[in-house]
Amino acid sequence: MSPTNISPSRGRPRRFDPDQAVETAQQLFHTYGYDAVSVADVTGALGINPPSFYAAFGNKAGLYLRVLDRYAKTGAIDLAGILRADRPVAQCLIAVLEEAARRYAANNGAVGCLVLEGTHSTDAGARSVCCATHAAAEDVIRRYIAERHPEEAGRLTDFVSATMSGMSDKARNGQDLDRLLATARLAGLAIDQALPAQALC
């Protein structure tokens, strides 16, 4: 039934912590991209041998799923928290863009958005899971806008998403926080104009 540990400690104990391994792998994938990080890179960084890696994660794609899961909890933007029903839609969308700018700015070399970067991978599996993750995030934005501005939801979601992709790209090309924030705020001018100050709520 359950393929993972049923009894917490039977057999020879692991010499490494899988959760910390996921953290290390996240740093590697985020910094260099899925394609550029080989299994040998990961095992080398962890100081383990390939069989230990495959016993713990199945394969490279399995590790990547764990990394994406961790990213959703620790590195990604909390859309549900920012897109508030008690504030103007435009203001919240701009807050998303500004938060993206902050997250995408350099963090120990792990720059840009891990998911958007994974969207460009050559590996079909990595690409599709990232595209699905990204599409889900877009849906959250789209539904949020649609509740109060149904006719604008489509194009505004496209615009916000494109701006985030662009910012992730620019972050990876070396733009610092200030420049990313400036782009977010310029995009905000368009959002403000497309969603003219409605009565609150």
| Interface contacts to DNA, rule CB under 7 A | 5-7, 9-16, 37-41, 48-52, 54-56, 59-61
| Token reading at 99 | 């938060």
38 versus 198: smaller Cβ distance to DNA: 38
- Which residues from 120-149 bind a copy of itself, rule CB under 8 A? 120, 122, 131
If the CB atoms of residues 48 and 194 are measured against DNA, the closer one turns out to be 48
Cβ atoms of 27 and 110 within 8 Å: the answer is yes
By C-alpha distance, which of 124, 157, 152 is closest to 140?
Answer: 157
Residue 44 C-beta: closest distance to DNA, Å: 10
189 contact, one of a copy of itself, DNA, none, CB 5-8 Å limit per kind: a copy of itself
Q: Which does residue 198 touch among DNA, a copy of itself, none (CB within 5 to 8 A, set by kind)?
A: none
One residue of 142, 148, 149, 179 binding a copy of itself per CB under 8 A = 179
By beta-carbon proximity to DNA, the closer residue of 10 and 73 is 10
Question: Which residues are CB-neighbours of 50 under 8 A, at least 6 positions away?
Answer: 39, 40, 43
Task: List Cβ neighbours of 31 (8 Å cut-off, separation of 6 or more).
Answer: 108, 109, 110, 111
Please, what is the Cα angle at 14 between 13 and 20, to 5 degrees?
145
3-state secondary structure of 108: coil
For residue 40, how far is the Cα from the chain centroid? Answer: 24
Residues lying near a copy of itself in the complex (CB under 8 A):
33, 35-36, 116-117, 119-120, 122, 131, 154-156, 158-159, 161-167, 169-170, 173, 175, 179, 182-183, 186-191, 193-194
